[in-house]
Structure 1
Amino acid sequence: MPEMHDVINKLDSLEEKVLSFDKDDMKLLSVRVHDQNKALDHTLSKIDERIERVEFISAEYQSRIDVLEKENTNLKDKVTYLESQSMRNNLVLGGLKEEPGENLDLKFRDFLVNKHKMAQSIVESMKLERIHRMGAPGSRRDRNVVIKFAFFSDREIVRRQKRLLRGSDYYLYEQFPPEIAARRRRLVPKLQEAIKANKKALMVYDTLYIDGQPVKCQ
């Protein structure tokens, strides 16, 4: 069989080549392999060191980012609180018909007397720092009115009378920054559930108190 004969010849040739290596050649080859393995181990060690260094730096930066994010959140909360404090004496009135060239101060005081059922003398004694419509003019519906009272006590007198507006086209509420207003809206369902269950419920700033226990917005 010619093919088998060729295979045997190739094996013989390979055997001759292997046997032709002397001990010095084998030793030199072994040294070269050892040196290459050593160089490879050194390279892998350097790579591991770099990976560890990168992981350490990454963890350090992540820690700094976490601290900055926490500081940023705290700063936002402080700004929101200061903004809410600047609105502490404010109320928002909706449903007051908007007319060209209107005198909002006079119109609001007339509303307090005729719709809010407050004594004329009390209304006249109230000092308003500012009163204006919210947003840009031109909308189809009457814009809400923001009233800034000079004294918090006057604001509370008006606010506590808002129950008299139930069933009417008017509504009155405290003004808060958008973030706080959103939190309060999310607490409204729980407030309504507590009232239906005849529990004592009160909302203060962004916290709902049910039977004296605080319920924060999530």
Structure 2
Amino acid sequence: MEFDNNTPRTTLGGRNQAAKRLRSALSSDSSDHNEGDLSYLDLDSGKVLQASQKTSESKVTLTLSEYDALMSKLMLLEKGLDKLNKLDKLDKIEKSVQSMNNKIIDFEQRLKHTENSSKEFEKSVNFVSSQFDDMVVQRNTDVVKLNELELSVKTITRENDEIRAAMIEMKAVNSSLKEELLDVKCRAMRDNLVFTNIDYTEGEDCENVLRSFIRDKLEIREEIQFERVHRSRPHSSKYVRFDKGGKPIPRPIIAKFSFFKDRERVRKSGRFLKGTNFGIHEQFPEEIEDKRRPLYPILRQARREKKKAVLVKDKLYVEGEEVKADAYHIKNKGQGNQPNTDGPHSQVSA
């Protein structure tokens, strides 16, 4: 390529870089053609064209205006290449943006999952809170019921204490009434004496039998006045008792004396019955008799030992000291001198 001599040097120096790029493009394109062909760039169409070259000595002459136009188009081409480079950068940026979008989408999905989990957690918290509220309400209800129960228990306890106090008072009153009734019974029987082991005869007159017994066995000739004389129980096999020999024991005769002095005279005459099977003792209510029954053997034992023994109502005194049946049996256990536990006989006359 040959330039006009009128071309300024400064213009050529400023466009060396563009010329180099052009030559590079032309040389690269011309390598694909025959050595005799000439390749050039049509700046209007942007295509590389070929022209036949007859000799290697041929030259292309450009005017300055053509050269400037060529350089301008070359610079425009360079700017287009720069834009292409920028487009590559934009692709990279787009890829980065796409990656960021993917990350944002993933983050949004995670955030959505977190929101769902948060909502589920909130539901759970609300459920627990509701349950807790229900428990608080139930607890308050239970507290009210418990207070009512405590009040009821206190009321029942107070009523129970009142009932217990009333029962204790009733027991005391009952015990007092029993004592009074027992005392009344004792007073009603204070004029009575019980005569044991007197033979029974069918169709007998108990009063005549007793008068004969007092006259013959106790040697009392004076007339004794009785209010009433009878056998203790109706004659029945249920009440039949037997002595050690298997002989039936006659039912006792109970006599109510008209005068206490006559009763005491007959009772004290019981010493004449010593050594016989007959007996005389005072009559007491069943409650007193149950307490006296275990004392009779101790009384007989004490009298056999020549000790002063007196049975007063349901208490036994030996040598002036009260003796209880339980304590006496424990004291004399294993000594071989246990008294007979049978009922009162002729030796016992209180």
For the aligned pair, the TM-score class normalised by the smaller chain equals 0.7 to 0.9
Letter in 1 for 2:167: I
Q: For 2:206 and 2:138, how far apart are their aligned partners in 1?
A: 90
Provide closer, same or farther for how the CA distance between residues 168 and 37 of structure 1 changes in structure 2, counting only shifts above 3 A.
same
Cα deviations by residue, 1:75-109 (Å, 9 ceiling, x for unpaired): 11211111111111111112222223323333222
C-alpha displacement at 1:112, in angstroms? 1.6
1:99 alignment partner, one of 198, 201, 209: 201
CA contact (8 A) 1:91 1:146 kept: yes
Establish whether residue 152 from structure 1 lines up as the match of residue 254 from structure 2.
no
What secondary structure does 2:200 align onto? Answer: coil
What secondary structure does 1:44 align onto? Answer: helix
CA contact (8 A) 1:183 1:217 kept: no
What secondary structure does 2:141 align onto? Answer: helix
Establish whether residue 163 from structure 1 lines up as the match of residue 265 from structure 2.
no
Match in the other structure for 2:79: none
Provide closer, same or farther for how the CA distance between residues 134 and 208 of structure 1 changes in structure 2, counting only shifts above 3 A.
same
Q: For 1:196 and 1:143, how far apart are their aligned partners in 2?
A: 27
What secondary structure does 2:311 align onto? Answer: strand
Match in the other structure for 2:190: 88
Match in the other structure for 1:186: 294
C-alpha displacement at 1:62, in angstroms? 1.5
Provide closer, same or farther for how the CA distance between residues 26 and 82 of structure 1 changes in structure 2, counting only shifts above 3 A.
closer
Letter in 2 for 1:181: E
Provide closer, same or farther for how the CA distance between residues 41 and 148 of structure 1 changes in structure 2, counting only shifts above 3 A.
same
Q: Mean alpha-carbon deviation: is it higher for 103-112 or for 67-76?
A: 103-112
Q: For 2:277 and 2:301, how far apart are their aligned partners in 1?
A: 25
Q: For 2:216 and 2:122, how far apart are their aligned partners in 1?
A: 120
Provide closer, same or farther for how the CA distance between residues 36 and 167 of structure 1 changes in structure 2, counting only shifts above 3 A.
same
What secondary structure does 2:173 align onto? Answer: helix
Count matched residues. 202
C-alpha displacement at 1:194, in angstroms? 4.8
Cα deviations by residue, 1:114-153 (Å, 9 ceiling, x for unpaired): 22233x2x2x2x2111111221135564322111111111
Alignment of 1:101-180 (within 5 A): 101-118=203-220, 120=221, 122=222, 124=223, 126-137=224-235, 141=248, 142-180=250-288
Letter in 2 for 1:35: V
Letter in 2 for 1:201: A
RMSD over equivalenced CA pairs, Å: 3.1
Provide closer, same or farther for how the CA distance between residues 174 and 24 of structure 1 changes in structure 2, counting only shifts above 3 A.
closer
Match in the other structure for 1:7: none
**What 5-or-longer segments of structure 2 have no aligned partner?**
1-113, 241-247, 327-350
Larger radius of gyration, structure 1 or 2? 2
Q: For 2:272 and 2:282, how far apart are their aligned partners in 1?
A: 16
Letter in 1 for 2:276: S
Q: For 1:95 and 1:22, how far apart are their aligned partners in 2?
A: 99
C-alpha displacement at 1:188, in angstroms? 3.2
Letter in 2 for 1:202: V
Q: For 1:133 and 1:25, how far apart are their aligned partners in 2?
A: 92
Q: Which structure ranks higher in relative contact order (CA pairs < 8 Å, sequence separation ≥ 6)?
A: 1
Q: For 1:100 and 1:193, how far apart are their aligned partners in 2?
A: 36
CA contact (8 A) 1:207 1:217 kept: no
C-alpha displacement at 1:159, in angstroms? 1.0
TM-score (norm 1): 0.76
C-alpha displacement at 1:214, in angstroms? 4.2
Cα deviations by residue, 1:157-186 (Å, 9 ceiling, x for unpaired): 111121222332322211111111111113
CA contact (8 A) 1:184 1:217 kept: no
Letter in 1 for 2:310: L
Identical residues among aligned pairs (%): 29
Provide closer, same or farther for how the CA distance between residues 193 and 45 of structure 1 changes in structure 2, counting only shifts above 3 A.
farther
Q: Mean alpha-carbon deviation: is it higher for 19-28 or for 32-41?
A: 19-28
